[in-house]
């Protein structure tokens, strides 16, 4: 059985004329008109959530539809939705109403005040928490590459940060972010979570922002490391890769294959490399730790997932989507190209709005083979 997968995307609300982020204000009270849109901590953002689906093609259609919903909600304040993981132009963001947002601001100070970043969160269903922990322990070494592949935040406060994903740098200011050590069991995971919560630092389980975690709401593994993807196709690719990694990891666990023994410190360094250079620098090979080009790591991942992807009839689709990013460049590269063509950061935002609104171009070799499963 192919696991269901769902995608959450966080979008920036912008004025396309000047490129500035725009608060939604009273529109936040009207989100019930869009059943799978939710507010975030700041009024300049919206989050979308797809259904849990099996078919990548149905997922692509759902991602496209949810992006249209976010844009429609933004248009109510004369703005647009943009898949930008950070605001290219300076912004003084506006806290969303509600007690929890106020608590976050009070607890975390300037970190919360300046927080305005957009991520892509992928949920993959699991059969049990033990299986979920086995998956977390085995896919962790691939998360830096997913960050590099999704990197879409080169600008911060009106300047080029020199990073491909500056979002990950800003996000790492929260005390519960980043890679984790190998857990080994669900009991050990919950023990670690309990110790973190007992410290009094996070407000609750929802405030645990690990790169990957067991969802506290759904029977899923949730991978949180990617930037929100500029292109809908790239969001589909993130979902396909995470699902492939989850299934491959689960099979390794059942076969008694141990996780790669990389420390959280090692992974933090590789994650920083991915954040800094995206696909344009070196990354550590997840199996050997040796520095390799991003293309080589991409091919290693594709080969790692090949048995599962071929069995699920997805290999050609995932290969197409992966090479599309490698040939076209990441969202960060596209943003920088937009700026270089003239028009500055306003042009970056305007181009991002148009790209965000485009439907997925996912090819259709397998629609008959895979069908959506209702939640």
pLDDT in tens, 259-290: 999 999 999 999 999 999 999 999 999 999 99
Residues 141/262, Cβ–Cβ less than 8 Å: yes
Give φ, ψ of 14 to 5 degrees: -135, 155
Tell me whether residue 373 is in a domain.
no
pLDDT in tens, 204-236: 999 999 999 999 899 999 999 999 999 999 999
pTM strictly above 0.85: yes
Instruction: Give pLDDT, residue 35.
Output: 87
Instruction: Give pLDDT, residue 371.
Output: 33
Looking at the structure of the chain, the number of domains it has is 1
Nearest to 51 by CA among 325, 356, 305, 371: 371
Tell me whether residue 365 is in a domain.
no
Angle value at C-alpha 258, between 257 and 262, nearest 5 degrees: 140
CATH code of 206's domain: 3.30.590.20
Mean pLDDT of the chain: 94
Per-residue pLDDT at 127 exceeds 60: yes
Note down the domain range covering 346: 5-357
Q: Which of the residue ranges 28-32, 275-279, 353-357, 364-368 would you say has the lowest mean pLDDT?
A: 364-368
Tell me whether residue 224 is in a domain.
yes
* Residue ranges with strand state E in the chain: 5-14, 37-39, 45-49, 80-82, 120-125, 155-156, 159-160, 212-214, 220-223, 282-284, 291-293
The pair of three-digit structure tokens given for residue 368, joined into one six-digit string: 């008959």
Tell me whether residue 325 is in a domain.
yes
Instruction: Give pLDDT, residue 367.
Output: 39
Tell me whether residue 372 is in a domain.
no
Tell me whether residue 182 is in a domain.
yes
Tell me whether residue 292 is in a domain.
yes
pLDDT in tens, 300-352: 999 999 999 999 999 999 999 999 999 999 999 999 999 999 889 999 999 99
Tell me whether residue 148 is in a domain.
yes
């Amino acid at each position: 059985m192919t696991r269901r997968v769902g995608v959450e995307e966080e979008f920036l609300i912008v004025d396309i004329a000047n490129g500035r982020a725009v608060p939604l204000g009273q529109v936040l009270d009207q989100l019930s008109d869009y059943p799978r849109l939710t507010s975030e901590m700041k009024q300049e953002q919206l989050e979308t959530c797809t259904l849990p689906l099996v078919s990548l093609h149905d997922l692509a259609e759902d991602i496209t539809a949810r992006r249209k919903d976010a844009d429609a909600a933004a248009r109510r304040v004369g703005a647009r939705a943009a898949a930008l993981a950070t605001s290219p132009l300076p912004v003084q963001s506006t806290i969303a109403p509600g007690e929890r947002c106020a608590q976050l601001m009070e607890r975390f100070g300037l970190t919360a005040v300046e927080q305005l970043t957009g991520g892509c969160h992928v949920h993959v269903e699991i059969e049990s928490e033990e299986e979920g922990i086995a998956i977390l322990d085995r896919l962790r070494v691939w998360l830096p590459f997913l960050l590099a592949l999704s990197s879409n935040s080169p600008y911060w406060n009106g300047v080029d940060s020199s990073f491909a994903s500056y979002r990950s740098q800003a996000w790492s200011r929260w005390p519960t972010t980043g890679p984790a050590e190998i857990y080994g069991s669900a009991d050990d995971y919950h023990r670690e979570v309990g110790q973190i919560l007992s410290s009094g630092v996070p407000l609750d389980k929802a405030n645990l922002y690990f790169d990957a975690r067991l969802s506290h709401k759904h029977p899923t593994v949730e991978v949180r490391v990617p930037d929100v993807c500029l292109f809908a196709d790239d969001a589909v690719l993130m979902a396909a890769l995470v699902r492939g990694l989850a299934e491959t990891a689960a099979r390794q666990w059942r076969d008694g294959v141990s996780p790669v023994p990389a420390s959280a410190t090692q992974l933090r360094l590789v994650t920083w490399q991915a954040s800094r250079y995206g696909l344009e620098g070196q990354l550590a090979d997840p199996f050997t730790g040796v520095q390799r080009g991003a293309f080589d790591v991409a091919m290693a991942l594709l080969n790692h997932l090949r048995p599962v992807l071929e069995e699920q009839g997805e290999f050609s689709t995932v290969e197409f989507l992966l090479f599309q990013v490698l040939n076209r460049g990441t969202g960060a590269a596209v943003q920088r190209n937009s700026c270089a063509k003239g028009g500055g950061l306003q042009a970056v935002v305007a181009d991002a709005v148009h790209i965000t609104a485009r439907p997925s171009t996912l090819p259709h070799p397998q629609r008959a083979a895979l069908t959506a499963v209702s939640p």
